[in-house]
Amino acid sequence: MYKKIALSVVLITSSLLASSLVDDAKKAGLVAIPSSKAALMKLIDNPKNPITGKKVELGKKLYFDPRLSKSGFISCNSCHNLSEGGDDGISAAIGHKWTANPHHLNSPTVYNAVFFSSQFWDGRDAHLEAQAQGPIQAAPEMSATPEHVVAVVTSMPQYVKDFKDAYGKDVKITFEKVADTIATFERVLVTPSAYDDFLNGKKNALTKEQKAGLKTFIDKGCVTCHTGIAVGGEMNAFNVTGTYKFQEVGDFRGNKDGLVKVPTLRNITQTAPYFHNGQFWELKDAIKEMGRIQLGTTITDKEASEIEAFLKSLEGRKKTIVLPQLPSSTALTPKSDIN
C-alpha cells in the first residue's frame, strides 16, 4: 500500500516537473515542430511557390543532379549530404576545381533550413528560393551560369515533361524556376525529434539527463540566441563577451552590421565541425566556447555534458530518401567543363 502511494507521488512529481520545464522552455522562446501535418504545412509552404508532390520529386532530382554544375561533378548534395547531417562535414566547403571556400566558411545544414529567417552565414537571403540560386552560380561552388542550367534541363525530354507535369504545359523553364523547384524539395526536409515530442506534451520523450540538460540550456542563457522553432536560424551579434579563439581563420566578419547567422542546433550532433569556420570538432568544447564568447560565463564540464545530453534529443527523424534516377543526357546536354 505504502509502495503504491510512494510510486504515485513520484509519478505525479515527475509529471509536474516535466510540465514546469515545458512551460519554462516555451517562455524562453523555444517552439516545437507541430505534430499536426496540416499545421506543419502552414509553416513550411510558400504561397508564391506552393508545395506539391510533383514539385518535390522534381526538386529532388535537380538537388542530386551534378550536371547543373559547370564541372558536371558537383550537386547540391555534395555540400549538403542528406545521408547524414545535411552538410559536408569539413571545415571549409570544397567546390569547383577543388576550391576551398575563400572565406573559410563551412556548409550549414539544409535540414530544417525552411525554419531559418536568414539564409547563408551573412543572412543575405531570407528564403530558400533565393538561396538556391547562389551556390549554383558561385565560382568556388558549382560555378555554373543560369544559361548553363537552363540548357542542361531543357536538353532532356524527361526533365521538360517533369516540369510540365509539375507546373502545367505552358511552363517556361528558367533558372529561377529550377531554383524554386529545388527549394520546394528543401522545404520538406524537416526532422521532428524527441525534443519536439516533449514540448508537444509527451512527458517521457526525454530522458532524465536530457531534461536536466534542457534546464541548464535555459538557465545558462543559451536560448538568448538558440531559440524559436529552428533553435537558431536568426541573425545575432558574435564575440559579445569575448573573442572567438579561431577568429582569424578566414576573413569572415559577418554582415555589414557584424551580425552572423545563428546555426540551428537541430541535428547538431551530426554537423561537426562547429562554428562558421569549422574549427571545433567536439561538441562539448564548442559549448564551452559559446559560453565564454557569447554569454560571458564559464560552462563547467558537468554543465557542458548536461547540455550535450539535451542536444542529442534534437537528433531528428529523417524521412527515407530514395536516390532518384536522373534523365539520360542527350547530344544537346552541355558537356562537363573542369576548367
d(CA 67, CA 62): 9
Distances (CA, A) of 170 to 93, 147, 178, 181, 335: 38, 20, 15, 16, 28
d(CA 162, CA 262): 36
Query: Pairing state of beta strands 235-237 and 259-261?
Result: antiparallel
Whether the Cβ atoms of residue 76 and residue 182 lie closer than 8 Å to each other: yes
Pull the grid cell for residue 12: 505525479
| Dihedral angle over CA of 193, 79, 261, 52, nearest 10 | -60
Task: Pick the closest to residue 159 from 257, 240, 61, 67 (CA basis).
Answer: 61
Helix (H/G/I), strand (E/B), else coil: 122: coil
* AA letter at 294: Q
Query: What does residue 300 show for φ and ψ, rounded to 5 degrees?
Result: -70, 170
* Residue in 57, 84, 129, 141 annotated catalytic: 141
d(CA 109, CA 270): 10
Does the annotation count 289 as an active-site position?
A: no
Helix (H/G/I), strand (E/B), else coil: 339: coil
Please say whether the dihedral angle defined by the alpha carbons of residues 151, 152, 158 and 160, taken in this order, is positive or negative: negative
d(CA 271, CA 314): 12
Which uninterrupted H or E stretch holds 235? strand 235-237
Where in the sequence numbering do the catalytic residues fall?
141
